[in-house]
Chain A
Amino acid sequence: MDYDALVIGSGIGGMESALKLGDMGYKVLVVEREASIGGKMILLSKVFPTLDCASCISTPKMAATIHHPNIDVLTYAEVEKISRDAGGHFHAVVRKNPRFVDEDACTGCQQCEMACTVAVPDQFNADLVARRAAYIAFPQAVPKKAVIDRPGTSPCTFTCPAGIKAHGYVSLTRSGEYEKAFNLILETTPLVGSLGRACFAPCEDECSRGSLEGPVPIRRIKRFIADTHYASGNPVGVEPTAENGRRVAVVGSGPAGLTAAWQLRLLGYGVKVFEAAPVAGGALALTIPAYRLPGEVVAQDVGNLVAIGVEIETNHRIDDLEALHRDGFDAVLLATGTPRAARLGVEGEDLKGVVPSLTFLEDAKLGRPQHLRGKHVVVVGGGNVAIDAARSARRLGATVEQVCLERRHEMPAFAWEIEEALAEGVALHDGWGVAALRGPGSVQAIELKRCTAVFDASGRFSPRYDEADRGELACDAVIVAIGMGPDTAGFEGTLAPRRNRTADVHPETLQGGVPYVFACGDVALGATMITTAVGSGRRAAYMIDRYLQGQEFDAAAFDLRLPKVEPEDVLRRQKSHSEKPPGASGKAITNQPSDFWEIEAPLTEEEAHYGAGRCLDCGVCSECHECVNTCPADAIHLEMRPETIEAQVGAVIVSTGFRLFPADLKPQYGYGRYKNVITGMQMDRLLAPTRPYNSVLRPGDGKVPDRIAYVMCTGSRDQTVGNPLCSKICCMYSIKQNQLIMGALPLADVTVFTIDVRTAGKGYDEFYVQAASMGTNFIKGRIAGIRERENGNLIVRYEDIEHEGATREEEFDLVVLAVGVQPNLDTQALFAGDELAHDAYYYVAETDEDLSPGETSIAGVFVAGAAAGAKDIPESILHAGAAVAQAAAYIEGMKVGV
């Protein structure tokens, strides 16, 4: 048996149970859901009727619990299931949630909190103030260790094929930390400016805000970050590892090759990139038109690599990968993309004036003369490259018609690209195939045949035609954009090409048949998107590093991501979402485009800030890595994952405490609508030494309240909310607060509206009398309703029972609702096999409250404290003692076989 007893929950009842059992010599496991032990008591100001400091009483117990030699404590953990084994012991399954912080290394310095860029309501301050996604629960937390609030990966980040922390750079932008945002993207790729323009932004498709008014403009924010950085003239903000003496050759300088080169250089490798073209950047520099991605931007991105020492040689075609190895490169990475244009395979294809799209686009991008002004151009193809070609031809002065096999809704080009092309004057002929190109000499016409189906029943590309349905378009030039593929000719000895000519490498490790040769990006995957190529480049760098370090590839460890947070769960976190419309697209589309200036305007700083402010922080932690970069103890480990811990225990003590009544269920009191209506727990926080404000202030405007009202029995003794029970603690905690308020705010008037005041307990009634003598005005009267004045004051309407039941109204600065307690329902499905009985009010039922306190319907399972019903602190401690005695007897009985 691992433990004599399992204690679930570490409030005062749980701690007392564990300490008593531990002192008796029993081995105890305590499981606490929150990041600190202490329950609700540690959050209180003082205790009644002694007015002792709650922290002063709690913290020694917390310390004693965590340091007790017979007690093990699991915080930030949940008991998932408990079942009884054949031997009569209990088998507990505990989920240890990841803190993402090494508890041994964390010193509790709070620097991660200070650096964190995500603010959420602080549940330990009853939502009166913010905490951070990286946080220490409260100042007296035990253990005083940070935790990163990460329920999962934000959809934007999860979706990014490149692995860019999209949520992270958005949250940094929201905080005005543009340079840090730039550096965060550099952790993934140096191509910040290029991706800020040319990425197809799958992150935005997944953005949770998209189901409200439209997604956060994530891509354009990235562009803003890049533009801001480059305009600043700041140097590259990352420091590569010192060179380790090993060298890697990268063949090809597209997004995959450059990203791999970047990553390898950061890891300490000497990297040289060979590029056959006259400029580096691959498709970014050569074929994506300047109106979408200016060459200067690509050059700025390429400059990042040069700045950290990557050597780039252009106009150098590599035909022999083995030769590179012989020349001293320890590994060779092929990343040559898909430069080979697919051919139509029809008569007349070699006529003058028929050009492959990649050639045309490269000539246009590099400013080579095209002489298309006034000419009639037909572009063949329905993909994004065809659209690029058509729109480029328009900018060169041509009349452009586009022909494609697919009907418009089937075209592989993005719908918005098709719309923009049409808006720029491109005439689309969808559903046509090319039958022949007609001359003589130069192309003069294109003969078309009706395409009746593009795909077969299995979805495979297999066009069928109606040969009788023909058409013809006169033209001066034809640009063929029907596909592209890799050019792996010459590499057969090192990378046997597949049937589609892609390099035959392992899909996970990207390693080829020759161990030192790897391939990534489109040459390995076939034509993809830029971000996919970037992700492939990152993967290749990771694998090459593992290879050169002589380590297992461990592909599963690459780019670990927590499961995606579902957008509907994100939206459910809030009761309402105010409308924040997305900004304008920023695109200027004209029917007569005449130049290659970017058509999309940059976001202004104000727009970027506003756009980032629309982020819903889906994953809570944004993965901005500020905590990682700041932590002086290197204690942050975002790769941590949940652990399942199983333990055999002899007995179980359920001490899961209670919940507070949600005050908004009494709408006539206005909680949640009126800013100066608060709960008793919120007032306790305002009065505590670790209070959220600098004084007792009202949340509506920070004013010191002069007149404060208490509404007793909020959610207790109230059939309208289904709770006829008295919560026992509300009268006394309110009286306690009355006295503390009058100490903190000597000029304040305090009025308590009550049905009656219940003060059963030693010294309780005296405590009540003392409050009255200090000036608390107790009015026997029920509250009919509360309404808010323009200045935030509150008009309380009540029935004055002691004065003939007259209805009266009084004005207050602040109203405190003395909320009652409710059962914690978490215990209901805890036990497998045996049913843990609950009473009519859903508290854990005791078999005989009078004669066997703490004993439940399951032999060996005991309940301690308020999990069995409303109790104040002394009662909880007393009840825990009873439960412990029962548990000890049970454990001893098990030992002797009783």
Chain B
Amino acid sequence: MTEQTRDVREIVREEMLRRREILEVLAKGPQTVPAIAVALGVPAHEAMYWVMGLRKYGWVAESGDADEEGHFLYRAIERKGA
């Protein structure tokens, strides 16, 4: 987790770019943020911005309680226009 940190504005801007990829990952089943990050090949904190942005706007939702590692699973939500 010690990789170079990009500007928050730049990371956030890419949410739209990453949305489809994240939804494709979640189409296979709920995933934690670190697992999504691995699937996308990106740092976990960047995936966190995107997943939480998608959650805020109704594309994904948490699925149950946190696992033993302390991570929640997130699932894709079927929505109009998705």
A interface list, Cβ under 8 A from B? 113-114, 117-121, 127-130, 132, 171, 174-176, 573-578, 609, 612-613, 616-617, 672-673, 675, 692-695, 697, 699-706, 788-792
Inter-chain CA distance A700–B1, complex, in Å, is 8
Q: Determine if B6 and A578 form an interchain contact, defined as CB atoms under 8 angstroms apart.
A: yes
Q: Determine if A701 and B12 form an interchain contact, defined as CB atoms under 8 angstroms apart.
A: no
Q: Determine if A703 and B71 form an interchain contact, defined as CB atoms under 8 angstroms apart.
A: yes
Q: A692-B56, A704-B66, A790-B1 are in contact. List 6 more A-B contacts (CB 8 A).
A: A577-B7, A697-B72, A701-B34, A702-B44, A703-B70, A792-B44
CB-defined contacts of B52 to chain A, threshold 8 Å: 128-130, 692-693, 702
CB-defined contacts of B9 to chain A, threshold 8 Å: 120-121, 573-574
Q: Determine if B33 and A701 form an interchain contact, defined as CB atoms under 8 angstroms apart.
A: yes
**Given that A176-B19, A576-B6, A792-B1 are contacting pairs, would A700 and B45 also be in contact in the complex, using a CB cutoff of 8 Å?**
yes
Question: Is B26's beta carbon under 8 Å from chain A?
Answer: no
Q: Determine if B66 and A700 form an interchain contact, defined as CB atoms under 8 angstroms apart.
A: no
CB-defined contacts of B51 to chain A, threshold 8 Å: 702
Q: Determine if A119 and B16 form an interchain contact, defined as CB atoms under 8 angstroms apart.
A: yes
Chain B nearest CB: distance from A608 CB in Å? Answer: 11
Inter-chain CA distance A411–B71, complex, in Å, is 63
CB-defined contacts of B32 to chain A, threshold 8 Å: 702
Question: Is B78's beta carbon under 8 Å from chain A?
Answer: no
Inter-chain CA distance A577–B56, complex, in Å, is 26
Chain A nearest CB: distance from B75 CB in Å? Answer: 12
Chain B nearest CB: distance from A154 CB in Å? Answer: 13
**Given that A693-B52, A703-B71, A704-B66 are contacting pairs, would A127 and B17 also be in contact in the complex, using a CB cutoff of 8 Å?**
no
Taking CB as reference atom, which chain A residue is nearest B14? Answer: A613
CB-defined contacts of B70 to chain A, threshold 8 Å: 703-706
Chain A nearest CB: distance from B82 CB in Å? Answer: 10
Chain B nearest CB: distance from A681 CB in Å? Answer: 15
Chain B nearest CB: distance from A503 CB in Å? Answer: 45
Q: Determine if B16 and A699 form an interchain contact, defined as CB atoms under 8 angstroms apart.
A: no
Chain A nearest CB: distance from B2 CB in Å? Answer: 6
Which DSSP category, helix, strand, loop or mixed, fits chain B's interface?
helix
Taking CB as reference atom, which chain B residue is nearest A703? Answer: B70
Residue contacts A-B, CB under 8 angstroms, 15 given: A130-B15, A130-B53, A175-B17, A613-B14, A694-B62, A695-B72, A700-B44, A700-B45, A701-B1, A701-B33, A701-B71, A702-B32, A704-B70, A788-B1, A792-B44
**Given that A576-B6, A672-B5, A703-B71 are contacting pairs, would A113 and B57 also be in contact in the complex, using a CB cutoff of 8 Å?**
yes
Inter-chain CA distance A573–B20, complex, in Å, is 27
CB-defined contacts of A132 to chain B, threshold 8 Å: 57
**Given that A174-B16, A675-B1, A702-B34 are contacting pairs, would A694 and B7 also be in contact in the complex, using a CB cutoff of 8 Å?**
no
Question: In B27-47, which residues have CB < 8 Å from any A CB?
Answer: 32-34, 37, 44-45
| Nearest 10 pairs of A and B residues by beta carbon | A702-B33, A130-B53, A701-B44, A704-B70, A675-B45, A792-B1, A574-B7, A613-B17, A119-B15, A703-B70
Inter-chain CA distance A575–B10, complex, in Å, is 10
Chain B nearest CB: distance from A741 CB in Å? Answer: 14
CB-defined contacts of A789 to chain B, threshold 8 Å: 1
B interface list, Cβ under 8 A from A? 1-2, 4-10, 12-17, 19-20, 32-34, 37, 44-45, 48-49, 51-53, 55-58, 62, 66, 69-72
Taking CB as reference atom, which chain B residue is nearest A610? Answer: B17
Q: Which of A113, A695, A702, A791 contacts B48 (CB 8 A)?
A: A702
Q: Determine if A700 and B16 form an interchain contact, defined as CB atoms under 8 angstroms apart.
A: no
Q: Which of B4, B53, B58, B72 contacts A119 (CB 8 A)?
A: B53
Chain A nearest CB: distance from B13 CB in Å? Answer: 6
Taking CB as reference atom, which chain B residue is nearest A580? Answer: B10
Inter-chain CA distance A108–B2, complex, in Å, is 41
Q: Determine if B57 and A114 form an interchain contact, defined as CB atoms under 8 angstroms apart.
A: yes
**Given that A129-B49, A574-B7 are contacting pairs, would A120 and B2 also be in contact in the complex, using a CB cutoff of 8 Å?**
no
**Given that A176-B20, A693-B52 are contacting pairs, would A119 and B13 also be in contact in the complex, using a CB cutoff of 8 Å?**
yes
Chain A nearest CB: distance from B41 CB in Å? Answer: 14
Q: Determine if A120 and B13 form an interchain contact, defined as CB atoms under 8 angstroms apart.
A: yes
Inter-chain CA distance A791–B34, complex, in Å, is 11
Taking CB as reference atom, which chain B residue is nearest A704? Answer: B70
Taking CB as reference atom, which chain B residue is nearest A129? Answer: B52
Inter-chain CA distance A578–B46, complex, in Å, is 14
Q: Which of B44, B53, B55, B58 contacts A114 (CB 8 A)?
A: B58
CB-defined contacts of B8 to chain A, threshold 8 Å: 121, 127
Taking CB as reference atom, which chain B residue is nearest A793? Answer: B1
Inter-chain CA distance A119–B70, complex, in Å, is 28
CB-defined contacts of B55 to chain A, threshold 8 Å: 693-694
Taking CB as reference atom, which chain B residue is nearest A813? Answer: B70
Taking CB as reference atom, which chain A residue is nearest B56? Answer: A129
CB-defined contacts of B7 to chain A, threshold 8 Å: 574-578
Q: Which of B10, B15, B62, B66 contacts A578 (CB 8 A)?
A: B10
Q: Select the residue from B16, B33, B55, B56 with max chain A CB neighbours within 10 A.
A: B16
Chain A nearest CB: distance from B23 CB in Å? Answer: 10
Inter-chain CA distance A697–B44, complex, in Å, is 13
Taking CB as reference atom, which chain A residue is nearest B44? Answer: A701
Q: Determine if B72 and A694 form an interchain contact, defined as CB atoms under 8 angstroms apart.
A: yes
Q: Determine if B13 and A617 form an interchain contact, defined as CB atoms under 8 angstroms apart.
A: yes
**Given that A702-B71, A704-B70 are contacting pairs, would A675 and B5 also be in contact in the complex, using a CB cutoff of 8 Å?**
yes
CB-defined contacts of A574 to chain B, threshold 8 Å: 7, 9-10
